[in-house]
Amino acid sequence: MVDTVIRGGTVVTPTDTYDADVAIDDGEIAAIGDADSMPEAVEVHDASGKLVMPGVVDPHVHIDDMFSGDTYETATKAAALGGTTTYIDFAWQAWVGDLSLWDEPGTLVEGIERKREKAENPVIDYGLHAAITREDPAVFEELADVIDAGVPTVKMFTAYEIGLGNGFMDQVFAELADLDAVAVLHSEDGDVCDAKTEQFQAEGKGDPEWYPRSRPDYAEAMAAEDAVRMATEHGCQYYGIHTSCRKSAEVLAQFREEHGEEMVRAETCTHYTVHDDSIFEELGNLPMIAPPIRKPDDNDAMFEHLKAGTLDVVSTDHCGYTLAGKETENWWDSKFGANALQTNLPVFHDEAVNERGFSYPFLVRKLCTNPARIFGLPGKGTLDPGTDADVVVFDPDETYTITAEANANISDFSIYEGREVAGRVKKTFVRGELVADDGDIVAEGGHGEFVERERPDWDF
Ligand SMILES: [Zn+2]
Q: What is the pLDDT of residues 273-304, one digit of tens each?
A: 999 999 999 999 999 999 999 999 999 999 99
* Neighbour-count burial of 296, counting CB atoms closer than 10 A to its CB (0-12 exposed, 13-18 middle, 19+ buried): exposed
Look up residue 65 and give its DSSP letter. Answer: B
pLDDT at 342: 98
The backbone torsions φ and ψ at residue 295, rounded to the nearest 5 degrees and listed phi first, read -100, 160
pLDDT at 208: 98
pLDDT at 17: 98
Distance in Å, CA 26 to ligand 1 centroid: 34
pLDDT at 133: 98
Task: Name the residue among 62, 91, 58, 59 with its Cα closest to residue 337.
Answer: 62
Distance in Å, CA 158 to ligand 1 centroid: 13
140 Cβ neighbours under 8 A, 6+ residues apart: 171, 172, 175
Distance in Å, CA 262 to ligand 1 centroid: 23
Distance in Å, CA 371 to ligand 1 centroid: 15
pLDDT at 439: 98
Look up residue 97 and give its DSSP letter. Answer: S
Q: What is the pLDDT of residues 341-383, one digit of tens each?
A: 999 999 999 999 999 999 999 999 999 999 999 999 999 999 9
Distance in Å, CA 22 to ligand 1 centroid: 35
Residue type, 396: P
At residue 185, the 3 state secondary structure works out as strand
Helix (H), strand (E) at residue 85: strand 84-92
336 Cβ neighbours under 8 A, 6+ residues apart: 67, 288, 289, 290, 319
Distance in Å, CA 185 to ligand 1 centroid: 10
Task: Give the number of other Cβ atoms within 10 Å of residue 260's Cβ.
Answer: 12
Distance in Å, CA 60 to ligand 1 centroid: 6
Distance in Å, CA 139 to ligand 1 centroid: 21
Whole-angstrom distance, CA of residue 221 vs CA of residue 254: 12
Distance in Å, CA 90 to ligand 1 centroid: 9
Domain architecture of the chain: domains with CATH: 2-53+386-397+423-441 (2.30.40.10), 55-374 (3.20.20.140)
Q: Is 164 left (phi over 0), alpha (psi -120 to 50) or beta?
A: beta
Q: Which regions of the chain are under pLDDT 50?
A: none
Distance in Å, CA 269 to ligand 1 centroid: 10
Distance in Å, CA 89 to ligand 1 centroid: 9
* Neighbour-count burial of 291, counting CB atoms closer than 10 A to its CB (0-12 exposed, 13-18 middle, 19+ buried): buried
Distance in Å, CA 186 to ligand 1 centroid: 8
Q: How far is CA 260 from CA 165, 221, 225, 235, 459, in A?
A: 26, 19, 16, 11, 9
What are the residues facing 62 on neighbouring strands? 319
- Predicted model pTM: 0.98
Distance in Å, CA 437 to ligand 1 centroid: 29
What are the residues facing 46 on neighbouring strands? 7
pLDDT at 460: 93
Residue type, 118: K
Whole-angstrom distance, CA of residue 258 vs CA of residue 270: 27
Distance in Å, CA 6 to ligand 1 centroid: 35
Specify whether the CB–CB gap between 348 and 371 falls below 8 A. Answer: no
Task: Name the residue among 456, 458, 457 with its Cα closest to residue 152.
Answer: 456
Whole-angstrom distance, CA of residue 130 vs CA of residue 141: 14
Distance in Å, CA 352 to ligand 1 centroid: 22
